[in-house]
Amino acid sequence: MRKILFGGIFSLVALAFVVVPTFASQGQNLNPSSCDKSGAPVINVNWKVINDPDSGFHGNWATDNYNKHLQVWQSEDGSYCGVVKYEGKFVTTGPNSPQDGLPLGAGIKGTFEGGYYTLPFTGTLQKDVQVKGNLGTFDMTKNPLDWVSYYFGTSADSTFNYTYWSWTYHAGNNGTWINAWDGSSGDITGY
């Protein structure tokens, strides 16, 4: 399950939402219409993330490298809403598969995509931050980027939250795993 990097709350949230999978909505909520907005995004950036440990229901199982695209709009009432999309590759580290905890060997490669959108939140957009274009590359073992803190400092801490989130992992003959707010299914297995 992808970690939403607001300080590592990702795994806890994913475990709290394990319910009967419906999956009908997967993918459709990761578009700008998910946000009540006016005008163009106030933030429209992308960046590359490398060496990101990925956790499942049985601990870390892979390392991810991906592109991340963030768009944030400000509504007429002054609140903000964001859509964050991920697209990249993973390589398994084992020892357990993400869904069922089956034995999983290291070195299985695959791709994934997904993301989340936020609930409306309040905050003060920081001055002198890059709000358009490419932010560069961030190594999760050395210089992770927490976009909420970067763009809003501590002003969004008490009101920031997110809703819909979903990631789909593809590993060919080694399976597909869907980890989502409305349930998870499948698995990545093998050696």
Predicted confidence at residue 29, as pLDDT, reads 60
Please list, in sequence order, all residues whose beta carbon lies within 8 angstroms of the beta carbon of residue 171, skipping any fewer than 6 positions away.
92, 108, 109, 110, 188, 190
pTM strictly above 0.75: yes
Closest CA to 71 of 59, 86, 83: 83
Predicted confidence at residue 12, as pLDDT, reads 32
Distance CA 145, CA 125 (A): 16
b/e map of 65-101 (b: 16 or more CB within 10 Å)?
bbebebbbbbeeeebbbbbbbbebebebbbebbbbee
For the chain, 191 residues long, give each residue's pLDDT as a single digit of tens: 554 443 333 333 333 333 333 333 444 466 666 676 667 799 999 999 999 999 999 999 999 999 999 999 998 888 899 999 999 999 999 999 999 999 999 999 999 999 999 988 999 999 999 999 999 999 999 999 999 999 998 888 777 888 889 999 999 999 999 999 999 999 999 98
Closest CA to 67 of 82, 51, 46: 46
